[in-house]
């Protein structure tokens, strides 16, 4: 439930609209920053769905016990192979259909262009809903469907229109949820915290995530400063609340209040640390790139 990341909470590490950063006009420093932003944004899109099998594993263990013989076979067949396959297949199929419908729509006036933007929200909800109804992972389907839509006629102006609308919707919804989160904090959401939960949260944000990120990026071709930046900026966000709520609604887990407190503290630490450091860290990487001192 801690795996999902949310770069919108530190927008400097999120990719911009389609067409920004033309390869013919970008400098090496721009390219380094785009690589970091692309890595973190694509991770945020993909790990929302890939965290689901492991959340379901925890639920299966809570129901059937920790002995793998009681749950491993069903988990591999249903929660891993079937649900991931359905999500991928429906994402490709529905995304291919929707992108052709959207491209065929006339969009000359500002009103018509705004309706294409609304189509991005419709596409997201339709892909997610159909996939969940079919028993697959809706998050995976939406991610795959988004890639399919973006890949179709990449230079078409509707990509930028859809991006702008989606980004504005995302920021409004995120702001509402963050305000609600703040209200929950004042009502005692993190009151069950103890020293070992605080230590766990600090380790998750400042040690576990960076170390795992560095291991995952080994041999990727990025420089060390770029790898360190991508590894560190795994911004915890709204997805963690979703997964915790989902798990607690599926099965009774002990110490649920402590789980809420731990996840909340991780998100708080992430919002403050990553939000404050995003701009200076990216500027530092840019300076190192311009100076030619990145190894």
pLDDT tens figures, 163-175: 777 777 778 888 8
Q: Three-state DSSP class for 5? A: strand
DSSP one-letter string for 127-142: HHHHHHHTTS-HHHHH
| Rounded-to-integer distance, Cα 147 and Cα 139, Å | 13
How high is the pLDDT of residue 37? 81
Answer yes or no: are the C-beta atoms of 74 and 60 closer than 8 Å.
Answer: yes
pTM for the full predicted model: 0.81
Mean pLDDT is lowest, of 58-62, 117-121, 129-133, 178-182, for 117-121
Relative orientation angle of helices 158-186 and 110-133, to the nearest 10 degrees:
60
| Number of continuous H segments (helices) and E segments (strands) in the chain | 12, 0
Answer yes or no: are the C-beta atoms of 258 and 197 closer than 8 Å.
Answer: yes
Answer yes or no: are the C-beta atoms of 39 and 278 closer than 8 Å.
Answer: no
How high is the pLDDT of residue 24? 47
**Torsion of the alpha carbons at 120, 124, 126 and 131, rounded to the nearest 10:** 150
Residue with tokens 């339709």: 126
Answer yes or no: are the C-beta atoms of 29 and 286 closer than 8 Å.
Answer: yes
- Give percent above pLDDT 90 in the chain: 32
């Amino acid at each position: 439930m801690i795996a999902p990341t949310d770069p919108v909470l530190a927008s400097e590490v999120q990719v911009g609209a389609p067409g920004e950063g033309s390869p013919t006009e970008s400098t090496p420093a721009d390219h380094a920053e785009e690589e970091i932003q692309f890595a973190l944004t694509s991770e945020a899109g993909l790990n929302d769905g890939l965290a689901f099998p492991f959340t379901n594993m925890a639920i299966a263990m809570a129901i059937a016990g920790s002995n793998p013989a009681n749950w491993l076979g069903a988990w591999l067949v249903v929660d891993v192979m079937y649900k991931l396959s359905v999500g991928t297949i429906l994402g490709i199929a529905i995304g291919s259909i929707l992108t052709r419908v959207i491209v065929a729509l006339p969009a000359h006036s500002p009103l018509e262009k705004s309706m294409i933007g609304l189509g991005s929200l419709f596409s997201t909800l339709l892909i997610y809903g159909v996939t969940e109804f079919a028993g697959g992972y809706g998050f995976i389907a939406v991610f795959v469907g988004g890639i399919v839509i973006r890949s179709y006629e990449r230079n078409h102006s509707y990509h930028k229109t859809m991006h702008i609308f989606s980004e504005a919707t995302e920021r409004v919804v995120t702001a509402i949820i963050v305000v609600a989160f703040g209200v929950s904090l004042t009502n005692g959401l993190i009151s069950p915290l103890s020293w070992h939960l605080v230590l766990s949260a600090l380790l998750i944000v400042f040690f576990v995530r960076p170390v795992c990120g560095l291991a995952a990026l080994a041999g990727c071709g990025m420089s060390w400063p770029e790898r360190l930046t991508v590894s560190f900026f795994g911004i915890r966000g709204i997805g963690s609340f979703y997964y915790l709520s989902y798990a607690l609604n599926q099965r009774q887990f002990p110490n649920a209040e402590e789980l809420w407190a731990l996840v909340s503290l991780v998100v708080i630490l992430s919002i403050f640390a990553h939000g404050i450091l995003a701009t200076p860290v990216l500027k530092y990487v840019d300076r190192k790139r311009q100076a030619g001192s990145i190894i």
